[in-house]
DNA sequence: GATGAAACAATTTAGTT
DNA sequence: AACTAAATTGTTTCATC
């Protein structure tokens, strides 16, 4: 769960976030040099950003093709469960190949992003895993032919 | 550009990827302890994984709400350019608020993932930035009401 | 490819302002 | 919240197998 209490970030915090978003393996010493601060002061700020759930994770972005995950698809899923329940979404979220589950406005359904080795393994996933989740009424699968950009970088405000 | 030459990853490489995907700030010494190897051997492998573009980036995943990016939307964009050209996609990719641009099958259009502060700033972005990109025929915007899962973690094969 | 050793650098804690 | 100082730990190179 993500902190609901309000979060105040000053110029220094935002600079730390900008640097760590661009390179999570930057040393604390290099961060301190960039910010013209003592390493101990920077370390304390980083720990607080982690505690406050401003920084959620440090992760290596991998080339999907290198680890045999060449197929990317988006699936629109309609569920018969009433509003207020999101059991279907939670079940979808448990599937490791499912990277994203969003509840979307308008069409009253979920948008799911899935990555598998190829179209055969996507079919297998849909038959074996998705079809076992209750309340799914329909699915519409869109295959990605080519990805031109895929980053999670957020635009960090100036202040 | 991502390496086109084929990539062979052994069990040790895959273990490194699994560990660094989960925590990009793991120390090289800790990696070496997990793998029962000398730190120097692990360091050499990590450098090769970076060089071969298996590891694309180390990044901190940030809480979008903490940096005032509360709105997430997917936009389907139809372009009049012929197949073979992807000028529109490249222009879309240049926009910092655009996190993803995928060319999708079937409807002959792009699927774009965008993050902004709120719906007013999304409107402003569409009017000021997207409307200046040539060849865009139509857009259909879907607003995300709630995100249940959003990770980029890939399923790393066993071997 | 992997190792061990060694020089150098970073991390992290504690005490102080 | 920030600093300095100091002890511990990690990084990285290089010679060797």
**Over chain A, what HEC string results?**
CCCCCCCCCCHHHHHHHHHHHHCCCCCHHHHHHHHCCCHHHHHHHHHHHHHCCCEEEEEEEECHHHHCCCEEEEEEEEECCCCCCCHHHHHHHHCCCEEEEEEECCCCEEEEEEEECCHHHHHHHHHHCHHHCCCEEEEEEEEEEEEEEECCCCCCCCC
Residues within 8 A of A (CB atoms), B 23-42 only: 23-25
- Could you tell me if A22 and A75 lie in one domain? no
Domain count of chain A? 2
In terms of residue numbers, what domain contains B6? 2-51
Q: Tell me which chain B residues have a C-beta less than 8 angstroms from the C-beta of A58.
A: 23-25, 58-61
- Could you tell me if A116 and A75 lie in one domain? yes
Is A71 contained in some domain? yes
Closest-CA residue of B relative to A11 is B67
Is A59 contained in some domain? no
Q: Answer yes or no: is pLDDT of B85 > 90.
A: no
Is A38 contained in some domain? yes
Instruction: CATH number of the domain at B39, please.
Output: 1.10.10.10
- Could you tell me if B34 and B71 lie in one domain? no
Mean pLDDT of A139-145: 97
Q: Answer yes or no: is pLDDT of B11 > 80.
A: yes
Which pLDDT score, from 0 to 100, does residue A106 have?
Answer: 86
- Could you tell me if A124 and A102 lie in one domain? yes
- Could you tell me if A96 and A125 lie in one domain? yes
- Could you tell me if B111 and B137 lie in one domain? yes
- Could you tell me if A19 and A79 lie in one domain? no
- pLDDT band with cut points at 50, 70 and 90 for residue A6: confident
Is B57 contained in some domain? no
The model's pLDDT over A58-96, given as tens digits with 9 standing for 90+, comes to: 999 999 999 999 999 999 999 998 878 899 999 999 999
Which pLDDT score, from 0 to 100, does residue A107 have?
Answer: 81
């Amino acid at each position: 769960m993500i902190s609901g209490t309000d979060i105040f970030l000053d110029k220094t915090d935002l600079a730390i976030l900008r640097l760590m978003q661009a390179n999570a393996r930057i040393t604390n010493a290099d961060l301190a040099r960039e910010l013209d601060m003592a390493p101990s002061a920077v370390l304390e700020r980083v720990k607080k950003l982690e505690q406050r759930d401003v920084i959620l994770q440090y992760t290596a972005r991998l080339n999907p093709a290198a680890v045999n995950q060449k197929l990317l698809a988006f699936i629109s899923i309609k569920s018969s469960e009433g509003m207020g329940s999101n059991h279907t979404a939670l079940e979808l979220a448990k599937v490791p190949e499912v990277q994203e589950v969003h509840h979307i406005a308008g069409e009253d359904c979920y948008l799911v992003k899935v990555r598998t080795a190829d179209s055969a393994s996507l079919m297998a996933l849909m038959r074996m895993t998705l079809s076992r989740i209750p309340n799914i009424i329909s699915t519409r699968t869109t295959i990605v032919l080519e990805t031109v950009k895929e980053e999670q970088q957020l635009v960090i405000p100036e202040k």
